[in-house]
Amino acid sequence: IKRDNKFGKLSKAHVKFFKDLLGAQSAVIDGVSQDATDDLEPFNSDWMRKYKGHTKLVVKPGSTDEVSKVLKYCNNNMLAVVPQGGNSGLVGGSVPVYDEIVINMSRMNSIRGFDEVSGTLVVDAGCILEIVDHFLAERNHIFPLDLGAKGSCHIGGNVATNAGGLRLLRYGSLHGNVLGIEAVLPDGTVMDDLSKLRKNNTGYDIKQLFIGGEGTIGIITGVSILCPQRSKAANVAFFGLESFDKVQEAFRAAKSQLSEILSAFELMDGQSQDLVHAVTAKKRPLEGQYPFYCLIETSGSNPDHDSEKLEKFLEHVMGEEIVSDGVLAQDETQIQSLWSWREGIPECLGHWGGVYKYDLSIPLPELYKLVEDTRERLTSVGLIGDDEKHPVVGVVGYGHMGDSNLHLNVATRRFDTEVEKKLEPFVYEWIAKRNGSISAEHGLGLAKKAFVGYSRSETMIRLMKQIKDLYDPVSRITPLLDCLMTNYTAERY
């Protein structure tokens, strides 16, 4: 993609404006009025090391008012920008594609308030998920979202991507939990919809457009969210199973027997666990090796009640030979250790080089078939192997079984066009045939924007484009189309 020269080039005068506005020295990382420094590098590349930008300026506003002034100035000067939270996104949406200014939200990191009676939390968008969850833990509450990147991702980034994560099965999506949003529109207008109300049927629920909007219509600066009570008891079990049919049986049994205390049901295939083992060399949770594993978590308010339920469930799945082997964590350390075999997969898969990632919604009965079909496809053309000559290390499937959300990952020794051509559009066509989604929880970003038509009709794409035009009207006239997100071009919305 070529840089669109309708966007202005950064000058020393622009940099001076931002330095004067933001005051604090650390709030502006400048590679314009001085030689580009290494300090810019982390903001120019993504977690997967797949996308690389060339920004010469990172600004870190410290308040909603500063975000507003930054965006207004950029709008007036045709300067392209990209919003960035913890930069843990997996679709290349958080890094500049060219020389866009990075608006990094990390300085907006205050917890604005928490009401222990209603469980309503109000935070700045730049708060890190794990820090917020620790704050809530001290108050016997829990953030209704958890994911492997919790140590770095921001609440604003979570909301902007409508992240799903490990406990959506229990607490539902951010579309239900987020009560209010404060955001700044492309022209600098502050949209204060930071409601704390659970119910508010007074017209359109506009904040929903910002949840999963990936920063295309505004920068989220504040979020209010309903947080559930933290459960007193938590249990984690890890099972080995002989087939995907057995995994489905185990899921049905878990839903019917553990019902309201079930808080996660995660799937890992044997190859994903082999690759984690190859990287960490940790002792495996089970003696034998199986083609499938699942991790089941329960959490509830009465430890005895939960244990009783769980015991009955274990008797059932072992007795009926639904699972072949299993282990139940005995303490918090073991809980963390079992979770690491699931949460550690994305990081371990990156060990060899590049990973092609597909985050898919698929009707449950066919969920694993895509992994088998993909593996067969790459094997048949000789791309998978143990040595340097073969670009592909392994094709693995894992994910949020409870949400019918598969993560198909192809771990490679290097990003390789031959591999990519075999995978795309094959994976997207496979998904479209089954009316699935080509992005269940990670968003479109740069990686998926060209493929949105596999999951959305022309009418839906037209409606999305109308919304983009409405919120960013200057783009239609001037056209300052992608003032907010240059990496999202007209093709996308």
When asked if residue 427 is in the footprint of ligand 2HG (CB under 6 A), the reply is: no
CA pair distance 229, 141, nearest whole angstrom: 4
List the single partner that 374 binds among ligand FAD, ligand 2HG, none, CB under 5 to 8 Å by kind: none
DSSP string of 298-352?
Answer: EEES-HHHHHHHHHHHHHHHHHTTSSSEEEE--SHHHHHHHHHHHHTHHHHHGGG
List the single partner that 94 binds among ligand FAD, ligand 2HG, none, CB under 5 to 8 Å by kind: ligand FAD
- Give SS3 for 160: helix
- Helix (H) / strand (E) element for 296: namely strand 292-300
List residues near ligand FAD by CB under 6 A.
47, 82-90, 93-94, 105, 125, 147-149, 153-154, 156-158, 160-161, 163-166, 214-215, 219-220, 346-347, 441-442, 445
**Segment 73-132, which members bind ligand 2HG (CB under 6 A)?**
90
Q: Residue 61 or residue 394: which is nearer to ligand FAD going by CB?
A: 61
Shortest distance in whole angstroms from residue 392 CB to ligand 2HG: 16
When asked if residue 148 is in the footprint of ligand 2HG (CB under 6 A), the reply is: yes
List the single partner that 83 binds among ligand 2HG, ligand FAD, none, CB under 5 to 8 Å by kind: ligand FAD
CA pair distance 358, 420, nearest whole angstrom: 12
Q: In what order do the strands lie in the sheet with 111-115?
A: 111-115, 120-124, 219-226, 178-184, 190-193
Q: Which two tokens stand for residue 133?
A: 């969850």
When asked if residue 485 is in the footprint of ligand 2HG (CB under 6 A), the reply is: no
List the single partner that 89 binds among ligand 2HG, ligand FAD, none, CB under 5 to 8 Å by kind: ligand FAD
Q: Residue 224 or residue 439: which is nearer to ligand 2HG going by CB?
A: 439
Q: Residue 300 or residue 346: which is nearer to ligand 2HG going by CB?
A: 346
CA-to-CA separations, 44 to 38, 40, 51, 101, 448, in angstroms, rounded? 10, 6, 8, 10, 19
Shortest distance in whole angstroms from residue 87 CB to ligand FAD: 4
- Give SS3 for 38: helix
CA pair distance 231, 233, nearest whole angstrom: 6
When asked if residue 359 is in the footprint of ligand 2HG (CB under 6 A), the reply is: yes
Q: Residue 90 or residue 393: which is nearer to ligand 2HG going by CB?
A: 90
Q: Which two tokens stand for residue 177?
A: 């939990």
Which residues bind to ligand 2HG, rule: CB under 6 A?
90, 148, 346, 357, 359, 399, 407, 409
